[in-house]
Structure 1
Amino acid sequence: MNTNVIQINKNECIHCQVESNLSFRPLVEYLKTRLKTEQSVKSEFYRFLLEKIEKNEALLGNIPAEELSKYQDTLELIFTILTPLMANEDDLYWALSTPIPDQIFFSTNAFYNFFKDHDPKNKVSKDNEPVEKKQLKFIYNLILGRFYNFSSVLKNEIIYAHIDTETKLTSYYNIQTDTKFVEILHKGDLPEINFEELGQHFQDNSELEYLTEVLPLSNFLFEGFSVISITDVTLQHAIDGIRDALVNHNYQTEAYTHVIQALKTLGGNGNLEFGLMPFLTVNKKLVFDNKEFSQSMLINSAKASNLEEEVFYSLVDKYKENPRAIFVSSINDDQIDKDPFLRVLKAAGVCSYSVLPVYYNTQLAGVLEVYSSKEVLVDDKLLSRLRPAMPLIGQLFQYSIEEFDAKMDEVLMDKFTALQPSVEWKFNEAIWHFLQQNKNKSYHKLKEIETVTFKHMYPLFGAIDIRNSTVERNKALKDDMEIQLNSLISTLKAIRKHVYLELTDKLLFNCKDWIKRICDFASSNEENLLKEFLESEVYPFLSIIKGNYPKTADIIEKYFEVIVPETGDGFKNRRQLEVSMQLINTEVSQYLETAQQNLQSSYPCYFAKFRTDGVEYDIYIGQEIAPDKPFDLMYLKNIRLWQLTSMVEIARLSKGLIGEMPRPLETTHLIFIHSNAIDISFRNDERRFDVEGAYNIRYEVVKKRIDKVLIKNKNERLTQPHKISMVYFNAEEAKEYMEYITYMQDQGLLNDDLELLELDELQGVSGLKALRVGVKYVTEKKPKEIKPIDVDLIERELQKQL
C-alpha cells in the first residue's frame, strides 16, 4: 500500500473550491450504526477498527492529507473492510481521497503506479468540458441528491484512455468516486428550489449559473473522505464503439475504420489486423470491387496480384456453400498448394490469416478477417474476446448490404425509369389499391394493376439538337477512312521493298480506288463494302506476311496501331466527334436537371428528358399532378417563360463550349407550343408516360416531325444555330410568346430580329407556323440569371382569388 499524496487537479479548479474537511468521523458514525444491527463475527472487526480510529482524535477532525502517512496501519484496516477479502492490492485500482477528490492520500500500489505511468490528460470526453465545470457539476450533483432527493443524469465517473507505446493500442479505464463517507452540512436554512425552472436550465445547459445563484457553495461544508476505484473497461468501450457506428447510421468507409480500430482494441494484440468483407450481390451474384462498403485484405491482395475475377468469385462461392472458420497461423508452401488464394496473401506480406463467418439472422452476411505480418495463433482466448462483437458486425454488414442495394435502386430509378417524385404519390396509390384488391387471392386470380393516368395536363416540348449531326458523322467517318487507307498504302509500299508479290500491287490499286470512292459515300452499304474489303482481304494478307517475313513485323504492327478504335489515328475524328457530342449533351442535361429541380418549387410538374443526337424533354403540368395545391394558368405562363429563358441559357452554354470541343459543333433550339390540355398515362411495358386518345396522339405526331420542317416556299430548315424556333398552330399562342420575346429583348437576352414564318406541310399535318428569334450573346461578363416570374407573388395572388 502507498501513502504518498497524489495531487489530482493541481489547483486547476481554484474558483469552484468548496470548504471541506478531511475526516473519518462519517466512517465512525457508519460503524456505530452497523454495530447496532450486525450479529455476525464482522461486528468484532468493526468494533476493533472503531476503537482504533477513536484513539487518534486527529482522524476525527480536519486532518491534512500529508499527515495521514502516520496512520498507515489504520488506513490498511479501512482498506480491508471496504474491499473484498480476495482482492489483491497489486491488481486492484483503489484509493482514498479528500471529500471533493483533489488529493489522494492512500492507495494500492496498482493505483499509485497507474497515476504515475498514465497521463490524466488522455481523458476521453465527448463534451470537452473544462475541469472547473466538471468539478462544479460533481459538487452540485451531491448537494441535490442529499438535500433535495434529486438525481441527475451525471454519473460520478470519468473515462480515461491510455495508448500503449509498444502495441499502439488504446486501453480505457472508468474512474468512479464513491461519496458514501462524505457528509454535507449547510449553514442556515436550506433554500427552496423551483424544479420546473431547474429542469428548464438543464435543457438550456445553464444549470450551473442557476445553482450558484440559488445555492452558493460558501454555505456548504463537505466533511469525510471519498473512495476512488478504477476499472478496466477496454472491452466494453470497444463494443460500445462498434455499437455507436451502428446507431449513428454511418455504414461506409469511416464507420469501417472505427470498427476495425475497435476490433484491434478487443484483440489486445498490436500485431493483429482486421478486414471486413460483407457479401454484396448484383443479380444474386457476389461483387467485391467496392471500397465504399468493404475493407478486405484478401480483396486488396487479389487486385494487387492481378488475380482473375472468376477465380476469386469461384473461391468465395465455394466458401458460401460451406461457411466455416479458417485458421492459418503461418502461411507455407504446403498450404498454398491446398489453397491457392494464400499465395496472393503471402505476396502482400501476410504471414498468418484467419477467416470467421459473420451471420445476420442466421443468414451469412460476410466474413471477418484476422491477419498479421507475423506468425499469430488465433486461440480460444482471442475468439472469446471477439465473440461479443460478432452480432454487431453482422448488423453492420446487413446495413452495408441494404445501403448498397438502396444505391443500386436509386440509380435504377434515376437513370432507367420515368418515375419522379412529382408523380410518385399516384403510383403509391395504385400499388396500395392493387394490394388491397388482391389480398388473400391466388396468383392466377390476381387483378391487373390500374393504369396511372393524369388528365387535363398542359404539355411543353423542347429540343436541343446538334446541327447537321448526320453530316458531321459522315465527314468524320470519311476523314478516318482516308487516314486508314493512306496508312495502308504506306504500309503496302514498305512491304513491297522487302517482299514482292503481285497481290501487293492489286491491294494498292484497290486502296487508291477506295480513296476516290469515299469522297462520294452516300449510304451505309458502301461503308460496309469497304469494311468487308479490309477484313476479308487486307487484314489476312498482312497477318500472313507478318508471320512469314519477320522483317515486316514492325511495319505491319504500326498499321494495326492506327486502326485501334480507342487510341489509333484511324478513329481519331470519330472519337473527337463523340467527345464533342457527349460534352454538349452532358452539359445540357446537367443544366436542365438543375433548372427543373428549381422549377418544381413553383408548382410540381412531370419532367422527362431523353437523348437523341441532342437532348429533348417533355413537361406536363396541371391540377392532377398536385391535387392539394390549386392550379392556375399563371403557373403555365410561368413555366412557358422559364422554357424560353432556359433555351437562351442553353444556347449561350453551347456556344461557350465550342472552344473546349475537339470537333466544334453547333446546336439548334426548338419549342413546340400547344395550348390545349391533353391526357397522359403510364405505359407499364415501356416504363414511360404516353398520350391518350386520337386527338392527343396528333400532338405526339407533330412533336416528332417538326425538327426537320422547312420554311414555306424556301429550301431552308426552320431550326438554325444561334436562334430559338417556336412552332405553333393558332395566333393566340403566338401572341403570348411575342410578349415574352419583347420582355426578353428588353432584358438583353434576345436580338431584335423576330421572324413570323409559315411552314411547309408535314405528312398529315398542315397549318403550322413559327416564330424565330436570335439569341444575344454576352462576352464581357456572365449574364444575370433571369427569374421568369416571382413564384411567391403568384401564390399570394392565387390565395387572394381563392
Structure 2
Amino acid sequence: MNHPILNDSPFKTKISFHKLIESLEEIALTDVDYRSNYALALLEQIKKVPELFTGIEDYASINEHKQLIKHLLADLFPTALTKNEIKAITIPFQNLTFNYTDRFKTILADAGNAFDMSIRDYNDDQLYIVSCILILNTQYGQNLDYNKPLFYDIPDANGILKHYRILYNADFMEIIRTENAVELTQEDIDMLMDNYDDIALWKQKFPKESWILKGFGIISLFDASVESAISNLKTNLLRSDNQQKSKDDDIQTIFRTIFKIPDLKLGFVLYNEEENKFTTPPFSNNTESNSYILLEKEEEIICKSALFGCTLQAIINDKKPFIISDVDKFSIENASFAAHLAKQNIKSCILAPVIKNDKLLGVIELISSQPKILNSVNANNLDLLLPYVVETIERYNIDLQNQIEAVIQREYTSIHPSVYWKFRKEAQKYFQIQAPNKDYIFKAIVFKEVYPLYGQIDIKSSSNHRNETVKQDLKSQISQLITILDHLTENNKLQLLEQRKFELFSFSKELLIELKADTEQQIQLYIQKEIHPVLTNAKNDPKLQLLIDAYFNELDEKTELFYHARKKFDEAMSIINKKMASVLDKEQLEAQQNYPHYFERFKTDGVEHNLYIGQSINPNIPFDMMYLNNLRLWQLQTLCKMELEHHRLKPLLPYELDVTSLILVFSSPLSIRFRMDEKRFDVDGTYNARYEVVKKRIDKANIKGTLERITQKEKITIVYSHQNEETEYLKYIQYLQFKNIIEPEIEKFDVEELQGVSGLKAIRIKVINSDVAHKKEYTYQELLNELS
C-alpha cells in the first residue's frame, strides 16, 4: 500500500520516532542491565533505518519496517493490554493509522475489507482548519477552544453500527516552521477567529505544507456506542419531519445499537385516552412500520380487543412493560396472541408503556425473530431512552393542540387578519395587567365609522329542489317495496300483506301533493317498523331473495331510506359552494393588497360575504373614500366571475341548479362589535340594525307592484337607497360593459316595501357567458381536483 500521508494540509508530515529514540538512548546509559541491554540492541537495529529518526514521508516505508517499529513502540503498547485496549499510531486529524492492538485489529476485521474508516462529520476543509488551529494554539500562544468530539462509526460483525470516541496523545510530536510559513499579525489572527468557514482565508494564512509536523501521535478509542446513540436519538427526535434524516441515524438503527440486536424492529402507537384507543402516530419515525403488534395494518383499535387478553391490562392499567422472551413458550398461556406474533415471525418482544405524570401516552414495540434475545434484563435499556421519547411525544401533543386550535379558529371562529391586531392587543393587556386570583374583564372589540359591503350568490329555489329530491327518493323506495310485496303475496295469502301494500299506496298519493314537514319522518318510521320486519322474516325463494337483497343494498346506512336524488342534489350544492367560495377567497387575497379590510363569508344554500372598510380597522394607513369605491368595483367584478364560473360548472353538475346574485349598497358608516357569545362581528347600535334587517329580507323581495322576485338566475341584482349610489354603480356597469363582461341591457325598478324598510331601488344586469373569450371548459376530474 503506497499513498500520501496527507492529501491537503498546512503540514508537511514526517512520521518520526526521534523523541522515542532519544528516550531509548537515555535508557541505554542507565545501570539497569536488562533495560540498557535491550535499548542498546534496539538502537543498533534503528541505526540501519535512519529515516525512523529523520522522518518518514512514504507509507510504504512504514509497512516495510513494521516489525522494528512494533519493537520500538513496545513500551507504549504493552502485550498484556493488547486484547483490551483499542490503540494505534496515527497522525492527528488524518485517517492514517498503523501498529494496531489486537482488539483494534479484530474491530476492523469485523467491519470488512470494504469499510473506509473516516472521522464522523469532518470534511477535508474542516480537517485543514483544525490543523491551522493547532498551529495557532501551540506556536502563537492562542487558546482557541475547539472541543468538538471526534468519532469513528464502525459496524461490527452483525452489522450493528458501533460508535468509538477518539482521543489523541500528541506528546511525541513537534511543529516546525518552514520558510514558506506566513508570519501572522494579531490582526490576521483576529480575522481568522471571525471567519471560521472561509477556507480560502485559512489557506492564504497557512499555505499548504508551510509547516512541518514531525513525530507521531497515539490514538485511543473507547466504545461510546450507547452514549452516542442516545445523543443521536435526541437529535433525531428534535428534527422536524421535513428535515433529512440519514439512514445511520434513524431511530430503529439507534435502538439496534443500544440493544445490540441486528434484527430488532421498532414500532410505536399513540394512546387516545378519551376514546380508549391505540392509534397510528401521524409523525414519521423512519421505521419500516408504525406498529407490528398492536395495530399491525389497522389505523386504530379499541383497547378491549380480546386477542391481547391481559396484555393490554398490564400496559394500560398497571403501566408496566409486557415482555415475552419466548413466544413459543408463551403460546401455552395465550394461544391466540402467540399465533398473532408467530404469524409475523416474532419470537421475542417487549411492549413498553410511555408514561408522563402517570398518564399513558403511547406504547413502544420492540420485536425480534430470535427467541430470548429480548427479555426482562435488557428491557432496562429502555430507561435510558424513554425520557427522550416522552419529551418528544409531549412536544408533539402540544404542537398538535396548537394546530387544532389554529384550525378551529380558521375554520369555525376565524379572526380575520385585518382585525387580529386589536384582539392581540387586548390579549396582551390580559397577561400584563391581570392580578393573581382576579378575573380580568375584557374590553369590547369595536370598530367605528366603517363602511359595509354585502353580497351573496344564492342557489335558486334550493328548498323546492330539496323537497322534490326527497319525494323522488321516497317514491322510488315505496315503488320497490310494493314490487317486493307483490311477489310475496303470490305464494302467501296473508291479509296483512295486502294491508301493508294499501298503506304504501296511501303514502304514494301523499307524495303527489306538497311535502309536509313531518311526511318524510312518518314514512321512514313506518317502513322501518312495519315493512322491514316483514322482509327480514319472510321465507323467500331465491328470485325474491335477490330482490330483497338488492333493496337493502340501496338503503342509506344512516337513514335506512333511499338516498339517490338527494345525493345528487347535495353533491351539486357542495360543488357550487366550494367553487364559489374558492373564487371569492382567491379574489379577496388580491383585494386586501389595495387597502386592508375585514372580510367574512358563510356557506349556506350559496355563499354570502360581508366586508367592512374604514380607518379604524387599519389605523396605520390613511383611509380615503377612493378605497371604498375601489372595493365596490372589486365586489361587482368578483360576483361576475362567480356567475361565469357557475355557468361553466352547470353541464358537469350531477343535479342542475341555478344561482342568483345580489349586492346590497349601504353608504352610511356604522360600527361593528365582536359578540363574545356568538364569536362573530355584528353591527352595533339601534340605527345600524336597519342594515341587518335589509340584509335578511332583501333576497326574498319582489319588484314593487308585481310577484316577480328581484333576483333572477344568471343575473346580478344591486339594491340601493340613494341616487348617488345609482350613479356610482352605473359607472361601474358601463366600465364592465366596455370590458365585455356585462350585457348591454340594464333593468331598473323599485323594490316592494318590506317590514320596517321602504324606498329601496334596484338595478339588474346579466353577465356575458356566450363570448368565446370567456369560455373555459372543465372536465369533471379537473373540477374535483381543483375543489380538493
Residue of 5, 21, 30 corresponding to 2:14:
21
3-state SS, counterpart of residue 759 of structure 2: coil
CA offsets 1:483-513 (integer angstroms, 9 cap, x no match): 1122122212222222233444444444445
Letter in 2 for 1:606: Y
Residues 1:227 and 2:218 are matched in the alignment: yes
In the alignment, the residues of structure 2 paired with residue 34 and residue 624 of structure 1 have an alpha-carbon distance, to the nearest angstrom, of 93
Take 1:324 and 1:252, find their aligned partners in 2: how far apart are those partners?
34
Aligned pair in 2 of structure 1 residues 240, 629: CA closer, same or farther (>3 Å)?
A: farther
Partner of residue 784, structure 2: none
**1:460 lines up with 2:474 in the alignment:** no
Between 1:679-688 and 1:568-577, the stretch displaced more is 568-577
The letter of the residue matching 1:288 is: F
Deviates more, 1:759-768 or 1:167-176: 167-176
Alpha carbons 1:607, 1:618 under 8 Å: kept: yes
Following the alignment from structure 2 to structure 1, what is the Cα–Cα distance between the partners of residues 243 and 677?
36
1:732 pairs with 2:724: yes
Cα distance, 1:703 vs. partner? 0.6
- Match of residue 663 from structure 1: 655
Per-residue CA distance 1:226-251 (angstroms, 9 max, x = gap): 33344443323321221112433449
Written as runs of structure 1 = structure 2, the 5 A alignment for 1:55-94 is 56-57=46-47, 58=50, 59-63=52-56, 65-67=59-61, 75-76=69-70, 79-82=73-76, 88-94=81-87
Which residue number corresponds to residue 207 of structure 2? 216
Residue 792 of structure 1 corresponds to none
Quickly say closer, same or farther: Cα 1:399–1:194, change in 2 above 3 A.
Answer: farther
Partners of 1:394 and 1:207 in 2: CA distance? 40
Counterparts of 1:15 and 1:361, CA distance in 2 = 55
- Report the CA distance shift for 1:51/1:589 in structure 2 as closer, same or farther (over 3 A): farther
> What SS does the corresponding residue of 2:691 show, helix, strand or coil?
helix
Shift of 1:705: 1.0
Where do residues 282-293 of structure 1 align in structure 2 (5 Å cutoff)? 284-293=274-283
Distance 1:464 1:496, change over 3 A: same
Question: What does residue 128 of structure 2 align with?
Answer: 136
- Alignment-derived partner of residue 260 in structure 1: 252
118 and 65 in structure 1: CA distance in 2 versus 1, 3 angstrom threshold = closer
How far the C-alpha of 1:89 sits from its partner, in A, is 1.7
| Partners of 1:292 and 1:686 in 2: CA distance | 33
Shift of 1:121: 4.1
Is 465-474 or 178-187 further displaced after alignment? Answer: 178-187
Of residues 551, 571, 575 in structure 2, which corresponds to 1:579?
Answer: 571
| Matching of residue 413 in structure 1 with residue 399 in structure 2 | no
My pick for the range that moved more, 708-717 or 188-197, is 188-197
> How many angstroms apart in 2 are the aligned matches of 1:718 and 1:156?
78
* Displacement of 1:660: 2.9
User: Are 1:771 and 2:767 counterparts?
Assistant: no
Decide whether the 8 Å contact of 1:179 with 1:225 is kept in 2: yes
Residue of structure 2 in register with 1:488 after alignment? 481
Contact 1:280 1:401 in 2 (8 A): no
2:278/2:301 contact within 8 Å kept: no
Task: Please tell me whether residue 236 in structure 1 is matched to residue 227 in structure 2.
Answer: yes
Give the 3-state SS of the residue equivalent to 2:218 in structure 1: strand
Q: 1:640-719 counterparts in 2 under 5 A?
A: 640-719=632-711
Aligned to 1:637, the other structure's residue is in SS state helix
Distance of aligned partners of 1:17 and 1:689 in 2 relative to their CA distance in 1, 3 Å threshold: closer
Query: Is this contact kept in 2: 1:186–1:219, CA < 8 A?
Result: yes
Gaps of 5+ in 1: 1-5, 785-802
The Cα offsets for residues 559-589 of structure 1, whole Å up to 9 and x where unpaired, read as: 3333335799932111111111111112223
| Cα distance in 2 for residues equivalent to 1:280 and 1:758 | 61
The counterpart of 2:606, out of the listed 608, 611, 614, is 614
Please tell me whether residue 747 in structure 1 is matched to residue 739 in structure 2: yes
In structure 2, the partner of 1:147 is 139
SS in 2 for 1:611: strand
The separation in 1 between residues aligned to 2:551 and 2:161, in whole angstroms, is: 63
Mapped partners of 1:193, 1:661: distance in 2: 80
Structure 1 contact 98–225 (Cα < 8 Å) conserved? yes
Deviation at 1:134?
Answer: 5.1
For residue 366 of structure 2, what is the amino acid of its counterpart?
Answer: V
- Code of the residue aligned with 2:216 in structure 1: it is F
Pairing 1:430–2:430 present:
no
2:785 alignment counterpart: none
Aligned residue type for 2:725: E
For the residue of structure 2 that corresponds to 1:213, the secondary structure is helix
Alpha-carbon shift at residue 452 of structure 1 (Å): 2.4
Residues 331, 339 of structure 2: 8 Å contact kept: no
5+ long unaligned stretches in structure 2: 285-289, 777-788
More helix, by proportion: 1
Q: Is the 8 A contact 2:176 2:212 kept in 1?
A: yes
Equivalent residues in 2 for 1:71-470 (5 A)?
Answer: 75-76=69-70, 79-82=73-76, 88-97=81-90, 101=94, 104-115=97-108, 117-121=112-116, 129=123, 131=124, 133=125, 136-150=128-142, 159-163=151-155, 167-175=158-166, 178-188=169-179, 191-193=182-184, 207-250=198-241, 258-281=250-273, 284-293=274-283, 295-301=290-296, 303=298, 308=302, 311=305, 319-331=315-327, 344-345=340-341, 348-360=344-356, 364-379=360-375, 382-383=378-379, 385-434=381-430, 439-441=435-437, 446=439, 448-470=441-463
Displacement, 1:612? 1.5
Aligned AA for 2:681?
A: F
- Distance in 1 of aligned mates of 2:552 and 2:98: 88
Q: Is the 8 A contact 1:725 1:772 kept in 2?
A: yes
Supply the distance in 1 between the matched residues of 2:354 and 2:136 (Cα, whole angstroms): 48
**Take 2:159 and 2:661, find their aligned partners in 1: how far apart are those partners?**
65
User: What amino acid sits opposite 1:95 in the alignment?
Assistant: A
Q: What does 1:597-612 correspond to in 2, within 5 Å?
A: 597-612=589-604
Q: Confirm or deny: 8 A CA contact 2:10 2:211 kept in the other structure.
A: no
**Distance in 2, Cα, partners of 1:614 & 1:624:** 30
- State which drifts further: 257-266 or 642-651: 257-266
CA apart distance, 1:665: 1.7
1:650 Cα deviation from its structure 2 partner: 1.8
Structure 1's 227 and 506: CA in aligned 2 closer, same or farther, altered over 3 A?
same
- In 1: Cα distance, 2:26 partner to 2:269 partner: 61
Give the superposition deviation at 1:190: 5.5
Aligned to 1:592: 584
> Which residue of the partner structure matches residue 617 of structure 2?
625
User: In the alignment, does 2:629 pair up with 1:634?
Assistant: no
Please list the CA deviations of residues 329-376 of structure 1 after superposition, one character each: whole Å capped at 9, or x if unmatched.
123686786798666555555333323333446765433322234423
Amino acid paired to 1:775: V
**Paired residues of 1:498 and 1:551 also in contact (CA < 8 A):** no
Shift of 1:179: 3.9
Aligned to 1:787: none
State the shift of 1:405 in Å: 1.7
**Native 8 Å contact 2:238 2:392 kept in 1:** no
Pick which of 609-618 and 527-536 moved more: 527-536
Superposition TM-score, scaled by structure 2 size = 0.84
- Whole-Å Cα distance in 1 between the matches of residues 194 and 774 of structure 2? 50
CA distance, structure 2, for counterparts of residue 118 and residue 399 of structure 1: 43
1:12–1:27: structure 2 CA closer, same or farther, 3 Å change rule? Answer: closer
Structure 1 residues 579 and 299 mapped into 2: Cα distance closer, same or farther (>3 Å)?
farther
Structure 1 residue 96: Cα displacement: 1.9
The whole-number CA distance in structure 2 between the counterparts of 1:628 and 1:646 is 27
Q: From 447, 463, 467, give the equivalent of 1:474.
A: 467
1:269 to partner: Cα distance: 0.2
Deviation at 1:395, TM superposition (A): 0.8
Q: What is the alpha-carbon distance in structure 1 between the residues aligned to residue 774 and residue 313 of structure 2?
A: 57
Q: CA deviation at 1:646?
A: 1.9
Q: 1:318 to 1:743 in 2, by over 3 A?
A: farther
Distance verdict in 2 for CA 1:186–1:601, change over 3 Å: same
Residues of 1 paired with 2:272 and 2:296: CA distance? 19
Deviates more, 1:746-755 or 1:724-733: 746-755
The amino acid of 1:291's aligned partner reads P
**Structure 1 pair 138–554 and aligned structure 2 pair: CA distance change class (3 A):** same
